[in-house]
């Protein structure tokens, strides 16, 4: 497809090392010339399009592989395992990632007929093939990287068009849940936010269910539907992800980091860290510091 070929060329031209940030506030670009390690990280609500190569993202027991011309939608902050599974120097992995804004989605939903705004069962991740209209909108957003004077006026309009194409596409039901303030997904999103802010504190799930306006049984059922794990399992993943980030940023005392994220003993912290990441904290840090930033990205 012509639009996809243009997207590849534009990503190759503008992708930079580091976190993939661009002059467009909500857009990041990904490039990798080799297959990468599967990395545990927390992905934010985002639209991630693969222009070339292939990536694999796992959430709990579910795995999603998406290649050229396919996109992944993440509806809430999710602890996932992701890595590039197809890339070479001649044909590098190329990706486009755009953060999803619930407020903008809610505004666009005013233009959708009320019969089309129903929210189904919450989902955390989904993969679909991009339509020609969606690819065309992404290509026009990327053109702005060469036209900085146009960004302030045109970027918001084009990002809204991308959201509109997603809302009216195959994963529209998921996008609509993000925008609906009273949806189950919105309630679970509030619970996830609370856990992420208070991850080091003891988690009382019954009280948290009451805070977000759900019964205990409904809260557990919908939380697992979205995240593929229980609230306590989610908190554990977030604790360990935070510990990993702290150790990578500053090689401090491992036991102290464990206490800081909520563990009561160094042995418990080391045991659970090894169970999730495959190796103890010290060995994991030595491995991670040899990786590039793109290797550590889930989307």
Q: Is the pLDDT of residue 91 over 70?
A: yes
pLDDT digits (tens, 9 = 90+) for 9-32: 999 999 987 779 999 999 999 999
How does DSSP classify residue 26? Answer: T
- What is the C-alpha separation between 92 and 258, in angstroms, rounded? 37
**How far is it, in rounded angstroms, from Cα 78 to Cα 237?**
9
Task: State residue 298's pLDDT score.
Answer: 58
List the one residue out of 2, 79, 10, 91 whose CA is nearest residue 41: 79
pLDDT of residue 299: 64
Token duo for residue 80: 């996932």
Name, in order, each residue with C-beta under 8 angstroms of 119's C-beta and a sequence gap of 6 or more: 173, 176, 177, 180, 183, 184, 185
Residue 200 has pLDDT above 60, yes or no: yes
Instruction: Report pLDDT for 296.
Output: 54
From 90-94, 164-168, 230-234, 243-247, the region with the lowest mean pLDDT: 243-247
**How would residue 292 be classed by pLDDT, with cut points 50, 70 and 90?**
low
Q: Is domain 2-179 classified as CATH 3.40.50.300?
A: no
CB 76 within 8 A of CB 227: yes
- Neighbouring-strand partners of residue 284: none
Q: Which residues contact 117 (CB under 8 A, 6 or more apart)?
A: 109, 176, 180
Question: Nearest to residue 128, comparing CAs of 53, 72, 44?
Answer: 72
| Residue 290 backbone dihedrals phi, psi, to 5 degrees | -90, 0
Residues 85-94, mean pLDDT to the nearest whole number = 96
What is the pLDDT at residue 62?
Answer: 87
Q: What's the mean pLDDT when you consider all of the chain?
A: 89
Instruction: Parse the chain into domains and list their residue ranges.
Output: 2-179, 184-230, 233-291
Q: Is 27 strand, coil or helix? A: strand
Partner residues linked to 249 by β-bridges: none
Q: Which residues contact 285 (CB under 8 A, 6 or more apart)?
A: 247, 248, 251
For domain 233-291, give the fold: Arc Repressor Mutant, subunit A (1.10.10)
Q: Find the mean pLDDT for residues 227-231.
A: 93
């Amino acid at each position: 497809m012509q639009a996809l070929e243009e997207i590849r060329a534009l990503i190759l031209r503008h992708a930079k090392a580091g976190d993939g940030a661009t002059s467009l506030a909500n857009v990041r670009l990904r490039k990798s010339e080799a297959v990468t390690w599967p990395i545990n990280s927390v992905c934010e609500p985002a639209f991630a399009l693969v222009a070339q190569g292939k990536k694999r993202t796992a959430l709990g027991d579910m795995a999603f592989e998406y290649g050229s011309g396919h996109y992944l939608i993440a509806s809430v902050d999710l602890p996932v395992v992701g890595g590039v599974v197809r890339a070479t120097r001649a044909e590098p992995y190329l990706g486009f990632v755009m953060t999803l804004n619930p407020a903008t989605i809610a505004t666009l939903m005013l233009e959708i007929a009320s019969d089309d705004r129903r929210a189904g069962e919450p989902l955390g991740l989904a993969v679909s093939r991009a339509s020609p209209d969606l690819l065309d909108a992404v290509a026009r957003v990327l053109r702005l990287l060469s036209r900085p004077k146009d960004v302030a006026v045109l970027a918001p309009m084009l990002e809204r068009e991308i959201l509109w194409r997603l809302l009216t596409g195959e994963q529209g039901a998921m996008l609509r849940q993000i925008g609906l303030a009273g949806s189950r997904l919105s309630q679970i999103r509030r619970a996830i936010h609370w856990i992420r802010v208070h991850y080091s504190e003891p988690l009382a799930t019954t009280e948290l269910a009451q805070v977000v306006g759900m019964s205990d049984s409904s809260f557990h059922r919908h939380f697992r539907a979205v995240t593929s794990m229980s609230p306590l399992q989610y908190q554990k993943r977030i604790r360990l992800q935070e510990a990993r980030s702290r150790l990578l940023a500053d090689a401090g005392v491992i036991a102290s980091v464990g206490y800081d994220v909520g563990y009561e003993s160094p042995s418990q912290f080391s045991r659970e860290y090894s169970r999730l990441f495959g190796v103890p904290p010290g060995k994991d840090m030595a491995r991670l510091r040899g990786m590039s930033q793109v290797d550590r990205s889930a989307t």
